[in-house]
Amino acid sequence: MEVTVGTAALALALLLLPLLYERCGSFRFFCKMGFYNGWILLLALLAIPLCALRGRDVENMKIIRGLMQHVKRLYGIRMEVRGAQHFPPRQPYVVVSNHQSSLDLLGMMEVLPDRCVPIAKRELLYMGAVGVVCWLGGIIFIDRKRTHDAISVMAEAAHTMLSQDV
């Protein structure tokens, strides 16, 4: 049985990966982020048929939130929500979240109330399966580069909040 140079290099790389993972924090970070983003994509692919049954509806956010809840347990993240009692249960209000990365989704899914209609940057709509799921979840997309259009979309969203009790 002959061992080719390519096979030997692959075997060596596979043997060195665990060592690199243990010794190099930045390599470990990129591995975890790659897995996280891949997992989000897989969850989006699972969510599309579930959410498509209802069409574009804010109630789909419950499905999306349910699929996202286990990710924090997978990574060993525990969250404690403080001040949830300040969210009025049966009246419209606005939650402002200045999140910094895709990891912030985990915290946002923890605190967003039912029938919440998030507003997101328009670029998110074009992120393949993730964009489709966001659209099915009723997320309102704004173009931050076109201020006048963004303001009119948010005004329309405010009108929808009041008229549809979201």
Is 74 a member of any domain?
A: yes
**pLDDT, position 102:** 84
HSE-up of residue 53 (Cα within 13 Å, Cβ side): 8
Residue 142, beta-bridge partner list:
121
What are the pLDDT tens digits along the chain (166 aa)? 677 888 988 888 888 999 999 999 999 999 999 999 999 999 999 999 999 999 999 899 999 999 998 898 888 888 888 887 877 767 777 777 777 888 888 888 888 877 787 888 889 999 999 999 999 998 888 888 888 887 888 888 788 777 777 7
Give a yes or no: residue 83 inside a domain.
no
Q: Give residue 1's pLDDT.
A: 63
Given this model, what pLDDT does residue 81 score?
84
Q: What is the largest CA-CA distance in the chain?
A: 73
Domain membership flag for residue 125: yes
* Domain count along the chain: 1
Residues 135/56, Cβ–Cβ less than 8 Å: yes
Cβ neighbour number for residue 141 with a 10 Å cutoff = 18
Q: What pLDDT, on the 0 to 100 scale, is given for residue 95?
A: 73
Which letter does DSSP use for residue 120 in this model?
E
Domain span holding position 58: 7-78+91-163
Residue 85 lies in a domain: no
Residue 150 resides in a domain: yes
Chain mean position to CA 1? 48
Flag whether 86 is in a domain. no
- Three-state secondary structure along the chain? CCCCHHHHHHHHHHHHHHHHHHHCHHHHHHHHHHHHHHHHHHHHHHHHHHHHCCCCCCCHHHHHHHHHHHHHHHCCCCCCCCCHHHCCCCCCCCCCCCCCCCCHHHHHHHHCCCCCCCEEEHHHHHCCHHHHHHHHCCCEEECCCCHHHHHHHHHHHHHHHHHHCC
Q: Please check whether residue 1 lies inside any domain of the structure.
A: no
Is 20 part of a structural domain of the chain?
yes
